[in-house]
Amino acid sequence: MGLIRFLRGAKLLGQTNEIPGKSLVEHAHAANVDIPTNCTSGNCGSCMVTLLSGDVSLPDPLTPGLDEEIVSEGARLGCIGVPSGDVEIDILPPI
Ligand code: FES
């Protein structure tokens, strides 16, 4: 079972054990960390965070909230991205 850690810069905001099948936003809630959301369906980009290490699922095809370039910078969507294993997230978007 992985550990999901939420950071802002070098500061650890909170962490929680992996909850299989649950989104990053739900993990953040469990860790007492706030990730802003709006559409909760992968379209608006409000919940965009940066994947620092580990694995967070991506929609295929990419939803309007994401494009290839920003994904290559580490962007993931908190509302639909599901972490697996040990994951570190910066709660700010990559750009
Ligand atoms: S809340 Fe809109 S993309 Fe996640």
With a 6 Å cutoff on the Cβ, whether 24 touches ligand 1 is no
Which CATH superfamily groups domain 3-90? Beta-grasp domain (3.10.20.30)
With a 6 Å cutoff on the Cβ, whether 42 touches ligand 1 is yes
Tell me the CA–centroid distance for residue 38 and ligand 1, in Å: 5
With a 6 Å cutoff on the Cβ, whether 83 touches ligand 1 is no
Where residue 19 falls among pLDDT bands split at 50, 70, 90? very high
Average pLDDT score over residue span 61-74: 95
Which numbered atom of ligand 1 lies nearest the CA of 44?
A: 2
What does the domain layout of the chain look like in residue ranges?
3-90
DSSP string, the chain: --EEEEEETTEEEEEEE--TT--HHHHHHHTT-----SSSSSSS-TTEEEEEEEEE---SSPPTT--HHHHHTTEEETTT--EEEEEEEESS---
Give the predicted TM-score (pTM) of the model.
0.95
pLDDT on residue 93: 96
